[in-house]
């Protein structure tokens, strides 16, 4: 189909703000939206065009996603990708429907509750007795809690990226999303785990599979409860790969004097 071929071509040739090709993770996200739209069109027996993506499509596609059980932020992510593709198409002089610029063609976004782990809770997870496979995932997650890297950069937490400056060891790597160089001291726990794996931790699995495994791992860590949307929930249920990054930032902030 020419429409889907054009959409696929736009994804493959989109550049970021610095004029560089978008990352493989961004491409994967955009392709996920395209796949979902294909499913919608097949189910509805609907032939879509760039000019046909109007406010009626918006509401019909949103209803389709709701029936699929997608939550607010996931639906919002797909609408964000649709708007981005339409902007790209328009920049390439492909006729599109201008409805995507309307306020009603909005990106749904619900601010999540700020779940993080303090150092005592990270220690509980680190001290768990686990199977070999889960132990490896736990170790990677714990290192990330002391590094603050995004999941897409966890594979860079290894001895190849450790440098020495004035007798101190630092982790130095290029952030995949921003392209900036990250440079921070190696935490003793990170050093200990890297030594355990001779400097090369196991491969990092996909974000979805890691999130599933984290919930199983954290369930026995006695993390207590948190309030989500005014409802008390077991904290382990809310732990995701992003919790590591949030924990790093929060613990770094709390460790500084506010005087």
Instruction: Report the C-alpha gap between 164 and 148 in whole angstroms.
Output: 20
Q: Which of 154, 157, 163 is nearest to 192 (CA)?
A: 157
- HSE at residue 46, side-chain half, CA atoms within 13 A, is 17
Quote the percentage of the chain above a pLDDT of 70: 95
Give residue-wise pLDDT tens across range 170-199.
Answer: 999 999 988 899 999 999 999 999 999 999
Q: Are 70 and 49 in contact (CB under 8 A)?
A: no
Task: Please tell me the predicted confidence (pLDDT) of residue 229.
Answer: 65
- HSE at residue 138, side-chain half, CA atoms within 13 A, is 22
Reduced to 3 states, what is the DSSP secondary structure of residue 94?
coil
Structure token digits, residue 130:
């686990």
Give residue-wise pLDDT tens across range 35-89.
Answer: 999 999 999 998 999 999 999 999 999 999 999 888 888 899 999 999 999 999 9
Q: Which of 99, 79, 80, 97 is nearest to 89 (CA)?
A: 97
Give residue-wise pLDDT tens across range 153-166.
Answer: 999 999 999 999 98
Structure token digits, residue 57:
């499509």
pLDDT band at 24 (very low <50, low <70, confident <90, very high): confident
User: With 70 as the cut, is the pLDDT of residue 4 above it?
Assistant: yes
Q: For the chain, give the mean pLDDT.
A: 91
CA gyration radius, the chain:
22
């Amino acid at each position: 189909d020419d429409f889907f071929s054009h959409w696929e071509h736009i994804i493959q040739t989109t550049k970021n703000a610095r004029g560089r090709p978008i990352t493989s993770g961004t491409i994967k996200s955009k392709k996920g939206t395209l796949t979902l739209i294909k499913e919608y069109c097949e189910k509805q027996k609907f032939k879509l065009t760039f000019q046909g993506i109007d406010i009626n499509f918006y509401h019909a596609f949103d209803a389709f996603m709701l029936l699929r059980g997608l939550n607010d932020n996931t639906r919002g992510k797909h609408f964000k990708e649709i708007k981005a593709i339409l902007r790209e198409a328009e920049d390439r002089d492909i006729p599109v429907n201008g409805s995507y610029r309307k306020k009603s063609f909005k990106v749904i976004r619900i601010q999540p509750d700020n779940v993080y782990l303090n150092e005592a809770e990270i220690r509980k997870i680190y001290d768990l007795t686990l199977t070999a496979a889960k132990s490896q995932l736990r170790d990677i997650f714990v290192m990330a809690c002391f590094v603050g890297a995004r999941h897409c950069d966890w594979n860079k937490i290894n001895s190849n990226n450790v440098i020495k400056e004035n007798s101190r060891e630092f982790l130095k790597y290029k952030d995949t999303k921003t392209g900036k160089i990250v440079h921070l001291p190696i935490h003793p726990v990170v050093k200990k785990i890297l030594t355990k794996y001779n400097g090369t931790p196991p491969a990092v699995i996909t974000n979805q599979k890691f999130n599933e495994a984290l919930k199983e791992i954290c369930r026995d860590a006695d993390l207590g409860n948190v309030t989500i949307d005014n409802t008390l929930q077991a904290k382990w249920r809310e732990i995701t790969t992003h919790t590591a990054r949030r924990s790093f930032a929060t613990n770094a902030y709390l460790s500084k004097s506010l005087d």
